Amino acid sequence: MQRWTTPRVVALCAAVAAVVSLTTTLVVLRVTADDAVALPAVGVPTGVTSPVTAASGAGLDLPALFGQVSDGVVRIETTACVLGGAGTGFLVAPDLVVTAAHVVEGAHAILLRRDDGTEAEARVVGLDSVHDVALVRSSRRLDGHVFRFAAAEPAVGSDVAALGYPLDGPLVPVRRTVTGTGQSLDVSGPAASAGPDQVVRDLIRVDGGFEGGDSGGPLLAADGAVVGFVEGRSLADKNTGYAVSALQAAPLVARWRRLTTTVDVADVCDAPVGPPQSRVVVRDASGPGPGAVVADFYGTYASAINSGRYAEAWGLLTANARAGQTLEQWSAAERSSQIFDVAVRQVSVVAPGADPTTAAASPSPPAAASSPPRTPGATTSPVTPAPPVVTPGEGGALRAVVDFSSTQEDRLGPGGQTCSRWRVTYTLLRADGQWRIDRTLLAQGYPQPC
């Protein structure tokens, strides 16, 4: 197995740092000349490079196709040495996701997320950096569309759909037209010292670019078959994109999916960090009460940890919670951690505090004038409004039971766990207009392995 190291990915991206943020995962392809004709390295066949003559796109109904397959596409977030990243992948089985190798290369932790809040840990099953293909296994079954690979290259001039999570946004579909297949591009340049093979081969070229976060997203024919997946965009022309061919990926995936083992792809470092824009979705399962307040606070706190913004998370702890630790010591224990699958289970008001705010938990009964007519002789029960929700104000306190999962390096995990399930009771205090964690209590029997 040949690997692109994290420095190589960084080197490829660094050439266009002003255009492409390093916070997301995108390979930028450097070519020897204007790649409108896809000039290759010497001796490498170019494949089909004829101009588009029939960009009809007949049969590609982008909105309908997106509605049918979108629940089979996932956002992939990683914790890595230089910085974490975000990319896209797609299901080829309920627990198997295909993506570009550079999305998970060097990862210490991998999380799969969907817009509906579904989250799961994942491990690499197989990785081939020469063709930029990877297969990861989810720790849980993901219900959604399972994709199949196309048996042939897309025709030049045909329209395809690309699905991805660009620039930390939601999943979006875009229409692209195939302008070439069998493309071979020289990516030496600033990455010349990264390895002996400086040519990316057998790529599909399309007439539109891609953004950071799109990498690994499926490229679909009108019938929903995967003809390729996003590799990156051209350095020479931001309106030209490239995709790994399904014909190259399918045999690798077919071999890997039979494996029961996983591959350690992590680079060696002391301080891996997550993607700078990781956002944790917190479910409020606590019922009536101030659960939404806790969910909002905990989402901010966990997102800061996941993104490596440790000073921000440290600021959400009281002096009591810091317990004599320094920021550096606390951060060292949190490095490599990714929090996911968070749910607020119970919330109680410990101390209301000053100036509590109240909000009705349900609408007031309708006025008499708008009440439905009564049947003579019938009896009615008075409508009892739900009790108000009291949110403590300044000086108030809440106690909340929160369930969550975390991935981390084995040397930092309890009992060597790389994925743990937690149940913690937090006491939150409000001071200076800000909620902060004051105390934590781990439930008996936790943490449990995922």
What DSSP string describes 173-184?
EEEEEEEEEEEE
Which DSSP symbol is given to 224?
S
Q: Burial, 380: exposed, middle or buried (Cβ in 10 Å; 0-12, 13-18, 19+)? A: exposed
Residue ranges of alpha helices (H) inside 193-290 are 246-256
Residue environment code for 139-150, b if the CB has 16+ CB neighbours within 10 A, otherwise e: bbebebeebebb
The CATH number linked to 236 is 2.40.10.120
Q: Same domain for 336 and 250?
A: no
Q: Is residue 54 part of a domain?
A: yes
Are residues 80 and 273 in contact, defined by beta-carbon separation less than 8 angstroms?
Answer: yes
Q: Same domain for 28 and 130?
A: yes
Q: Same domain for 331 and 427?
A: yes
Strand, helix or coil for residue 78:
strand
Q: Same domain for 193 and 321?
A: no
Q: What span, in angstroms and rounded, lies between the C-alpha atoms of 283 and 436?
A: 19
Are residues 275 and 24 in contact, defined by beta-carbon separation less than 8 angstroms?
Answer: yes
Please give the structure tokens belonging to residue 57.
């796109």
CA dihedral 263, 267, 268, 270 (to 10 degrees): -110
pLDDT given at position 387: 59
Q: Same domain for 217 and 325?
A: no
Q: What span, in angstroms and rounded, lies between the C-alpha atoms of 330 and 305?
A: 11
Q: Is residue 382 part of a domain?
A: no
pLDDT given at position 277: 65
Amino acid residing at 160: V
Please give the structure tokens belonging to residue 237.
């022309």
Q: Same domain for 425 and 350?
A: yes
The pair phi, psi for residue 428, each rounded to 5°, is -110, 135
Q: Is the dihedral of CA 446, 447, 448, 450 positive or negative?
A: positive
Q: What span, in angstroms and rounded, lies between the C-alpha atoms of 113 and 341?
A: 9
Number of structural domains, the chain?
A: 2
Q: Same domain for 320 and 217?
A: no
pLDDT given at position 30: 52
Are residues 422 and 416 in contact, defined by beta-carbon separation less than 8 angstroms?
Answer: no
Q: Same domain for 25 and 69?
A: yes
Please give the structure tokens belonging to residue 32.
């020897």
Q: Is residue 170 part of a domain?
A: yes
Q: Same domain for 181 and 297?
A: no
Query: Residue 172: in which H helix or E strand, if any?
Result: strand 172-186
66 Rama class: left (phi>0) / alpha (psi -120 to 50) / beta: alpha
Q: Same domain for 332 and 232?
A: no
Please give the structure tokens belonging to residue 181.
């297949």
Q: What span, in angstroms and rounded, lies between the C-alpha atoms of 293 and 295?
A: 5
Cα-Cα end-to-end distance for the chain: 28
Strand, helix or coil for residue 65:
helix
Which distant-in-sequence residues (6+ apart) come within 8 Å of 312 by Cβ?
A: 304
Q: Same domain for 229 and 348?
A: no
Place of tokens 């993901």: 142
pLDDT given at position 345: 96
Q: What is the DSSP string of 177-216?
A: EEEEEEEEEE--GGGTTS-S--EEEEEEEESS---TT-TT
Strand, helix or coil for residue 49:
coil
Domain that residue 438 falls in: 282-360+388-449
Q: What span, in angstroms and rounded, lies between the C-alpha atoms of 60 and 184?
A: 27
Consecutive 10-residue averages of pLDDT for the chain (450 residues): 33 26 49 37 32 49 95 92 86 97 90 87 93 94 96 95 91 95 71 52 91 94 96 84 95 96 86 72 91 95 88 95 91 82 93 57 35 46 60 90 86 78 95 94 91
The CATH number linked to 318 is 3.10.450.50
- Taking alpha carbons only, the member of 275, 241, 230, 268 closest to residue 111 is 275
